[in-house]
Structure 1
Amino acid sequence: MTRKPYRVAVWGPGTMGKAAIREILRLPEVELVSVLGYNTDNNGRDVGEFLGKEPCGVAITTDMDTFLAAKPEVILHTARDFADFRADDEIVHVLEQGFNVISVLPYQYPAARGQDVHDRLHAAGVKGGATLYGTGIDPGFFYERLAPLMTGLSSEIEQIKLKEYTSLINQGPDILPLFGFGTTIEQVEKDPIAATMAGNYLTMGMHYLADHLGLHIDRIERTAHHVLAPEKMSIDSGFSVEPDTVGMLRYDWVGYVDEKPMFQIEVFWYLNEVLRPDNVPCDDYWVIEIEGRPSTRLGLEVVGSLKRAERLVPDNPAPLAYIASIIPAIQAIPAVVRADPGILDTEMPQFHWLPDLRDAK
C-alpha cells in the first residue's frame, strides 16, 4: 500500500532552500508543510508567491515554534552557512523536540569535528527520538559513496583524489565579493572565508573515508593557487571583476596517512567560461581518481539535460551544484524517517578496498 506523502519542512529559503522547495512542490511523494525564514519582510508570505509561482497555501514564518507546529516528519536544513557551526545549538534544540533533520550544511560526519561534537548531536537525537543526517554532493556523494565504490576495482591504493570544477555564473552577487572575487590574492589569503567554509565540508569527507577504510589522517594541509581574471568579466547577476583581480578560487587539501598524501581534494571555483579549464566540458564537473593497482578515473558532468543540451533545469533556475546537493537530501527522507534516533552516517558500498583484508570482518 502506498503511504501518504512525507511531510517536509524547509529551514532557510535562500538559494539552496528555494531549490529544495521547487523540487518538493513538484514531487508527489513529499508535501511541503512549513518554511522557516529569517527576513521579517517575508513573514506570512505564501511560498509559491515568494518563488514567483502560483500560491501553494504554505506561508513563510520567521518563528521557530510556528515552524515546528506544522509537525513535519523531516526538516531539510538549508540555512545560510556562516562557516562557524553556529547552527549547532538550533539543531540540538530541534532534535530534542523530536524532529528529524537532514542538513546540507557540514553535518555529513560530525565526528570529524571531535567526538564531543558527535556525542552532543547524537544525544540530542536520542533524547528526542529523532535523527540527524548530513548529505549533499561534495561531501555527501563523491567521497562518501562514489569514491569508495570505485576502490572496489583496485587491490592496492596509493591515493584517492577528487577535483571539483564549479562555475559561479549563476551565483547571486552577494556571496562573491565575500569570497574575495574581484579583490587581490593577498586580500583573499588575509580573509580566507571561502577556504574556511569549503574546508569545513571537504575535510569532513576526508575523515569519513579515512575512518571507514580503517586509516588515520596525521594532518591535512591546504594550499591556494588562485587565478586572476585576464579581462573585465561579468555574470548574469550583474557582478563583475576587473582585470588582474581574482576570477578563480583554487584550493587544494591533502590528507596525509603515515606521512604519505593519501587523500586529496582540489576545488576550482571560477567566475565564467572564460576561466573554465580546457579539460572541463561543462559548468559543473567532478573528477575522481584512484591511484592504485589498477588506477581508475571517473568524470561526472551535471547539466540541465544531456538530451536537450540544456545548461540549467528549466523550472528550477538554481545553480546545478545546488540542485545536485539538495536532491540527495530529498532522496534520503525515507531512510531518515526509518532510522534509529541519533546520527545517521552514510553507509559504505558493500564491496570496497580494505587496507588489510586480514582484518576484514
Structure 2
Amino acid sequence: MRVVLWGFGAMGRSIAKALIEKGSFRLVGVVDRSPLLRGRDVGEALGGPPLGLRVEDDAGLIERMNPDVVLIATTSFVKDVLPQVELAVKAHSNVITIAEEMAYPFDTHPEESYYIDSLAKRYGVTVLGTGVNPGFVLDTLIIALTGVCSKVDKIVARRVNDLSPFGKTVMETQGVGKTPEEFEKGVKEGKIVGHIGFPQSIGMIARSLGWKISRIEEERRPIISKVYRETPTVKVEPGMVAGCEHSARAYVGNLCVIELHHPQQIHPHLEGVETGDYIEIYGDININLAIRPEIPGGKATAAIAVNMIPSVVKAEPGLKCMADLPIPRALLSDIKRSL
C-alpha cells in the first residue's frame, strides 16, 4: 500500500519509522517545507541507512505518486490542515491526520466538516483524524468501556503525563517556565492553551451515547513547582510554573455528565506524581480503569495513525471519527488480511 507522509517533524519522523518497520506499507513520498530537511534522504534523517527517498517541499508529489493514503502530521488546527486535506482528497487519496481538532470537528467546525465530508464523498475517499488523545485515551477507549453498561450516569477521566520530552513550542503553550502571573496573562491572551482536544473528545463520547450537550466549561490552572526542574529547553525554579492543569466539564441541562482532566508538567516524579491514564464510569455497572504509567503520547500517536490505515481504506467515503470505524488494533501481520 502506497503512503505519502506530509510533515517530517518529531511526530512525522515517528510515523515514518512505524511505516518502515511494518514492511507492509510503501513510503513513496515525504513532504516538509523546512529548508533544513529539503533534499535529505529519509532513511538518513531517521538515523538509518539511506532509502533513496528524499524529503521534498512540493506537495504536488502527492498527485504524482498517487498514494492510497496521505498521513498528515503538520498542525493541530482545522483551519491550518484544511488546505492540506483538500489537496490530498482532490488527488483521490484517503487521509489520516493527527491534527487534534480533526478528531471530531463536527461540533466545533461544522462548516469545514461539511465541506470535507462532501469533498471526500465526491472523490470517493475517507478522511480521519486520530491520535492518542484526542482519538483514543479520553474518547475511543471510554466509548468501548461503556459497551458493557446498560446505563451510564457520568464519566470521569484523567490523563496525567510528563511534558519533559517535548520541545520549546509545547512548553510555551503549556506555560512551563512562566511566573503564575505570566501564566494567567497567557491564558487570557490565548497564548497558553493547555490541552487541545477536550471539545472533540466530549463531542465524540456524547454522540456515541446519545447525550445532547448543552454546554462545556473549561478551566486552566498553573501547576506551581516546589522544586527545581530542568529540561533541555526550559528551567523552572521553585515558585514558577511546571505545567498546566486543564479540565473540562460537559453538561446535559444542569447535570454534569462528563469530566475530563489533563494535568501536564515536566518531571512530575520530582514531586511524587505518577503518570497514568484513569477512567471512571458510573452507571448500572461502575468501571474503574487505571493504566500506569501513561500511554506514551508520541509513540502511541504514530502507532494508531499507521494501524488505522486498513480501516480507513475500507471505510465508506466521507469524514469519519474513530467511533465510526472498527475498534483500533495493532497490525501484527500482513495488512492484506485486514483489507
With over 3 angstroms needed to count, the CA separation of the structure-2 counterparts of 1:28 and 1:303, relative to structure 1, is: farther
**TM-score relative to the length of structure 2:** 0.88
Q: 2:212 aligns with which of 197, 216, 232?
A: 216
Amino acid at match of 1:245: M
Secondary structure class of the residue paired with 1:262: strand
Task: State the partner residue of 2:337.
Answer: none
8 Å Cα contact 1:248-1:275 kept in structure 2: no
Shift of 1:37: 0.7
8 Å Cα contact 1:148-1:348 kept in structure 2: no
Q: 1:103 aligns with which of 97, 108, 126?
A: 97
Q: 2:230 aligns with which of 234, 255, 278?
A: 234
Q: 1:258, 1:144 → 2: CA distance?
A: 21
Residue 155 of structure 1 pairs with residue 150 of structure 2: yes
Task: State the partner residue of 1:309.
Answer: none
8 Å Cα contact 2:138-2:260 kept in structure 1: no
Q: 1:16, 1:75 → 2: CA distance?
A: 15
Q: State, as a whole percentage, how many aligned pairs show the same letter.
A: 24
Residue 288 of structure 1 pairs with residue 305 of structure 2: no
Amino acid at match of 2:226: P
With over 3 angstroms needed to count, the CA separation of the structure-2 counterparts of 1:99 and 1:123, relative to structure 1, is: same
Residue 175 of structure 1 pairs with residue 145 of structure 2: no
Shift of 1:335: 1.4
Gaps of 5+ in 2: 327-339
Amino acid at match of 1:223: E
Q: 2:96, 2:325 → 1: CA distance?
A: 21
Secondary structure class of the residue paired with 1:244: coil
Task: State the partner residue of 2:179.
Answer: 184
**TM-score relative to the length of structure 1:** 0.83
Q: 2:40, 2:19 → 1: CA distance?
A: 18
Q: 1:268 aligns with which of 263, 271, 293?
A: 263
Where in structure 2 are the equivalents of 1:249-264 lying within 5 Å?
249-264=244-259
8 Å Cα contact 2:75-2:81 kept in structure 1: no
With over 3 angstroms needed to count, the CA separation of the structure-2 counterparts of 1:93 and 1:349, relative to structure 1, is: closer
Gaps of 5+ in 1: 1-5, 305-319, 351-361
With over 3 angstroms needed to count, the CA separation of the structure-2 counterparts of 1:227 and 1:9, relative to structure 1, is: same
Cα-to-partner distance string for 1:120-158 (whole Å, 9 max, x where unaligned): 111121222221011111121134432122223433322
Secondary structure class of the residue paired with 1:347: helix
Q: 2:125 aligns with which of 118, 123, 130?
A: 130
Amino acid at match of 1:100: N
Shift of 1:32: 1.2
8 Å Cα contact 2:222-2:243 kept in structure 1: yes
Shift of 1:117: 2.3
Shift of 1:277: 5.3
Q: 1:12, 1:126 → 2: CA distance?
A: 25
8 Å Cα contact 1:96-1:129 kept in structure 2: no
Root mean square deviation of aligned Cα: 2.4
With over 3 angstroms needed to count, the CA separation of the structure-2 counterparts of 1:197 and 1:152, relative to structure 1, is: same
